[in-house]
Amino acid sequence: MDLERLKEKRKFLRISFTKHLTKIETTLGKEISIEYNKEAKLDELLSLRSQLTEKQNELIKADEHIQLQIKISEMAADISSCEEYKDRGIDLKTKLNRQIEII
């Protein structure tokens, strides 16, 4: 796949990843109630965690393919950008795991 196609694919993966992180943040903030009990929240959190892992893996693969094709002079900026997404994912995965343990 050529570099432009890879970058375009990664762009959409990043958009999807960011939307998923927002969904996780929203779910983490939901209060337990009669309509939304512990079991329902736990099921949702477990599903979101699995999806996050899959999305992280897809993004990492896309990043690796791009880094093999870009100029060395562009690599530092690209890696820095990739690390921001990685760090956000790790942060929310940690929060997910903590809330799953509590429930």
Percent of the chain with pLDDT over 70: 100
pLDDT at 23 over 90: yes
Confidence of residue 60 (pLDDT cuts 50, 70, 90): very high
C-alpha span between 79 and 77 (Å, rounded): 6
Residue pair 30/43 in contact (Cβ under 8 Å)? The answer is: no
C-alpha span between 32 and 43 (Å, rounded): 13
C-alpha span between 14 and 84 (Å, rounded): 11
pLDDT tens figures, 70-79 = 999 999 999 9
Model-level pTM? 0.92
C-alpha span between 82 and 89 (Å, rounded): 11
Confidence of residue 1 (pLDDT cuts 50, 70, 90): confident
Contacts of 75 (CB under 8 A, 6+ apart): 67
